[in-house]
Amino acid sequence: MMEVNRINWSTADEETKKRILTRASMDISDQIPVVSEICANVSARGDQAVLEYTKQFDGVNLTAIEMRVTPEEYALGKAQVDPEVAAALRYAAKNIRAFHEAQKPQPMWMMEVDDGILAGEKVTPITDVALYVPRGKGSFPSVLLMLGTPAVVAGVERIVVLTPPNPEGKVDPAILFVADLLGITEMYKVGGAQAVAAAAYGTETIPKCAKILGPGNPYVTAAKRLLMGVIDPGIPAGPSEAIIVADGLATPYKVALDLLIEAEHGPDSASLLVTDSESLADAVLHDLEQLIATIKNPMRRAYVLEVLRRYGGIIVTKSVSDSIAFVNEYAPEHLEVMIQDPFSYLQSIVNAGEILLGEHTPITLCNFLLGPNAILPTGRHARTVSSVSLHDFLKRSSIGYVTEKALQRMAPYAVAMADVEGFETHGDAIRKRFINKSS
């Protein structure tokens, strides 16, 4: 008999509630000491330190030159991609591109806020960005599609891909295929905390970047948190997590199938069914047991079992509105709504990285090829943070222009505000302008 959390939310004790709501991604205290040392070493010894850590953690002995993926490796890797996979990646790339093109803001806008006073904004791409594509418990060409597409559409000048090498010192051919599809030519075989540190400080081989984006394990997360004063760490994207919110009319088999999607990422992931129906919970449990027995990969089966007894499982609520309240408190990365008339709940769901409606929109689709970005905030950050988007690769500069006549009108107000805040030279820049002019 497998062990699955089944928690009645209205009567659950505080400790259980805290474990479920907190999940794994917030606690990186175990990784901080080792990651601090990695960051300090990479800052002091550059390539040499990166290569030592690559040997220690990825089991590969590379030279500095071998870290950069060569055009020959691109060509060889691309040729190894199965035609069916290539077609799928092309299809995904098309949808993801279309979605992110639609996010394009106006390059510049201006308005007259008052007579003779113009104000607006100008949008500029970030010049250099590192994209972290994980490769520990899986291979993630889709992550490169999700990161690379908005970077390319935004017009980022220098796009640098960092991804751990496999034990043979190679990059996954599908990653090379996607990079080529996107026209990204700069890639380094480096992973974990040492990759984040290398992008933050720069080494002899790996360029210093202004920002790093991409999900990763607790070592990657810890490095981003420690180096946030040196490099912009982008959105917090840690262990994957999902909620399937369902009522008594949902199909148990489909709920069970979808509950297993994100549970296979790793033992620290979370996957929850939230339902007001005890009978749905019973039926899903039954189907889960049968489905888990059919998972072929023993590592993935072990992850799923661990997730369901640790941070995942089934939450039983008293009503659909209590289920929605739980969702909003939890703020999941991925959310599936398997309630009758799912569109009618869209307004009341306020905290979720992604909201997938109905029984025919499993998380798998949005992970890979629906179009929206699958790199989403985890660990309750969906309360304030959005998915990766075009806007992560752009920044806005405010623009202002004032005529002489308008300045005269604004002057007394500006001086009054400078004086009340006690800023003398702020006020003088207005006052003395007029004195000088008349003398």
Ligand X SMILES: N[C@H](CO)Cc1c[nH]c[nH+]1
Q: Which of 66, 262, 333, 336 is catalytic?
A: 333
CA distance 412 to 405: 13
3-class secondary structure, 398: strand
Contact between residue 24 and residue 239 where contact means Cβ atoms under 8 Å apart: yes
334 is catalytic: yes
194 is in an annotated binding site: yes
48 is in an annotated binding site: no
Q: Which of 262, 334, 354, 381 is catalytic?
A: 334
> Is residue 170 part of the contact set for ligand NAD (CB under 6 A)?
no
> Is residue 313 part of the contact set for ligand NAD (CB under 6 A)?
no
* Contacted entry of ligand X, ligand NAD, Zn ion, none for residue 173, CB cut-off 5 to 8 Å set by kind: none
253 is in an annotated binding site: no
> Is residue 215 part of the contact set for ligand NAD (CB under 6 A)?
yes
Structure tokens that stand for 248 in this block: 């008594």
> Is residue 271 part of the contact set for ligand NAD (CB under 6 A)?
no
Helices (H), 260-403: 278-293, 298-309, 320-330, 363-368
The residue (of 66 and 354) whose beta carbon lies closer to ligand X is: 354
Which window, 4-12, 179-187, 198-206, 368-376, contacts ligand NAD (CB under 6 A)? Answer: 368-376
Nearest to 194 by CA among 178, 175, 216: 216
3-class secondary structure, 206: coil
CA distance 396 to 385: 18
3-class secondary structure, 242: strand
The residue (of 59 and 412) whose beta carbon lies closer to ligand NAD is: 59
Per CB under 6 A, residues contacting ligand X are 140, 142-143, 240, 262, 333, 367, 374
**Applying CB under 6 A, which of residues 67, 237, 243, 369 lies at the interface with ligand NAD?**
237
* Contacted entry of Zn ion, ligand NAD, ligand X, none for residue 362, CB cut-off 5 to 8 Å set by kind: none
333 to each of 116, 324, 373, 392, how far by Cα in Å?
46, 15, 12, 17
Contact between residue 265 and residue 137 where contact means Cβ atoms under 8 Å apart: yes
CA distance 344 to 324: 12
The residue (of 125 and 136) whose beta carbon lies closer to ligand NAD is: 136
Q: Which residue is nearest to ligand X (CB)?
A: 240
334 to each of 51, 140, 270, 315, 434, how far by Cα in Å?
36, 17, 10, 16, 59
Structure tokens that stand for 429 in this block: 């820049």
Measured from the CB of residue 112, what is the shortest distance to Zn ion in angstroms?
A: 48
CA distance 201 to 43: 6
Nearest to 219 by CA among 423, 54, 400: 54
**Positions in 184-213 near ligand NAD (CB under 6 A):** 191-193
> Is residue 150 part of the contact set for ligand NAD (CB under 6 A)?
no
List residues forming the annotated binding site.
132, 194, 217
Give the binding site for ligand NAD (CB under 6 A). 34, 57-58, 134-138, 140, 143, 164, 191-193, 215-217, 219-220, 237, 239-240, 265-266, 269, 333, 374-376, 378
Catalytic residue IDs: 333-334
List residues forming the annotated binding site for NAD(+).
132, 194, 217
